[in-house]
């Protein structure tokens, strides 16, 4: 966790960020352009200006997402604004707090493939490497090699009781070869019962093992966000794009065209901004201040 926070600092993302983006749905052409502002504290806002003149705004405060269309509030806003601020905490404590605010358990860290890379998966005990009883390690090193030490150990009730462990099915759905003498399915040693919901959906964060960059964020509601390769925007390192995947919906892809650090006061993330009339120039004047070329609005504004 400290190394991930260090990677965030080295990427220059530990301040408020302003991203100029374009949006498209599925494999079609872009239908909107806009501005996304993310603060390390968990505040974020997104304004999208459709090429048909429509203006959508989204406001994220912690896990609360609000939305408005042309200044009118939306009852059920689409999940258009993922927690980008997971890429910004610069210390272990703030990173753990950020994950905890979205119910990501930092006590469980496992491994899984993610595309062509390997990733640490934070928050899913099913993928965590199981703890091995030290007596099993001693048996493996001092005695003959057992064909199936895990299954054999699981059948020894006294060993389980002594280690405080209980038999269960493998948490990742895999089972050791063979079975028990009475024909029951094979068992494995497991720790305390895992707090996994019935629908098997957990809040998780995927971080690549090479550069320690966030590659994916999973939400318990089935929505997940995938981040593209990290590229340079002058002093900032940001994903080139991100995609939001929701159940029974086409993916929504945001291309990041510019990224810059900004000073973002709390009033920049207020409902006043969210519900303001669709006059972007007024809202931009009340928003964050940046320096350099990113100050100017993107084409279409």
Domains of the chain: 2-103+235-291 (2.50.20), 134-190 (no CATH)
What lies within 8 Å, CB to CB, of 243 at 6+ separation is 225, 226, 228, 251, 252, 253, 254
- Determine the distance from the C-alpha atom of residue 105 to the mean position of all C-alpha atoms in its chain, rounded to a whole number: 12
Count of C-beta atoms within a 10 Å radius of residue 102: 20
CA separation for the pair 152, 290 (Å, rounded): 64
Which segments of the chain does DSSP mark as H helices, in order? 2-10, 92-100, 134-142, 149-154, 157-163, 271-274, 280-285
Per-residue confidence band for 126, with pLDDT thresholds at 50, 70 and 90: confident
Confidence (pLDDT) at 200: 61
Give the residue-averaged pLDDT of 152-164: 42
What digits encode the pLDDT tens for the residues 42-64?
Answer: 999 999 999 988 999 999 998 89
pLDDT reading at 153 higher than 50: no
- Higher-scoring residue by pLDDT: 36, 131: 36
Range from 2-6, 67-71, 219-223, 292-296 carrying the lowest mean pLDDT: 292-296
Identify the band that residue 132 occupies on the pLDDT scale cut at 50, 70 and 90.
Answer: low
pTM score, whole prediction: 0.71
Examine the pLDDT at 219 and tell me if it is beyond 90: yes
The pLDDT of residue 273 is: 93
Q: Which residue has the tokens 């002058």?
A: 234
Using an 8 Å Cβ cutoff, are 256 and 19 in contact?
A: yes
Selected residue with higher pLDDT from 289 and 299 = 289
Q: What pLDDT is stored for residue 141 in this prediction?
A: 54
Q: What per-residue confidence (pLDDT) applies to 134? A: 64
What percentage of the chain has pLDDT greater than the value 90?
56
Average pLDDT over residues 159-180: 39
């Amino acid at each position: 966790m400290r190394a991930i926070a260090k990677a965030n600092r080295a990427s220059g993302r530990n301040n408020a960020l302003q991203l100029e983006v374009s949006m498209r749905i599925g494999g079609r052409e872009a239908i909107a352009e806009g501005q996304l502002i993310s603060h390390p504290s968990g505040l974020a806002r997104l304004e999208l200006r459709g090429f048909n003149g429509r203006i959508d705004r989204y406001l994220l405060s912690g896990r609360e997402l609000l939305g408005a269309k042309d200044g009118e509030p939306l009852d059920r806003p689409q999940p258009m604004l993922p927690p980008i601020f997971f890429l910004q905490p610069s210390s272990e404590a703030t990173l753990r707090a950020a994950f905890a605010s979205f119910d990501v358990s930092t006590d469980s860290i496992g491994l899984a493939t993610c595309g062509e890379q390997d990733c640490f998966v934070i928050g899913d005990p099913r993928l965590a490497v199981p703890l091995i009883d030290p007596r099993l390690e001693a048996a493996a090193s001092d005695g003959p090699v057992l064909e199936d030490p895990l299954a054999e150990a699981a059948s020894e009730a006294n060993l389980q009781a002594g280690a405080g462990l209980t038999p269960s099915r493998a948490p990742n759905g895999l089972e050791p070869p063979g079975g028990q003498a009475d024909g029951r399915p094979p068992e494995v040693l497991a720790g305390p019962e895992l707090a996994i919901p019935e629908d098997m959906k957990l809040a998780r964060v995927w971080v690549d093992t090479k550069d320690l960059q966030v590659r994916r964020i999973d939400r318990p509601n089935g929505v997940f966000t995938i981040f593209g390769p990290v590229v340079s925007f002058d002093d900032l390192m940001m994903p080139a794009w991100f995609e939001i995947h929701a159940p029974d919906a086409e993916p929504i892809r945001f291309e990041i065209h510019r990224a810059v650090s900004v000073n973002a006061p709390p009033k920049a993330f207020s409902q006043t901004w969210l519900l303001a009339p669709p006059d972007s120039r007024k809202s931009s004047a009340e928003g964050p201040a940046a320096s350099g070329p990113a100050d100017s609005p993107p084409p279409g504004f």
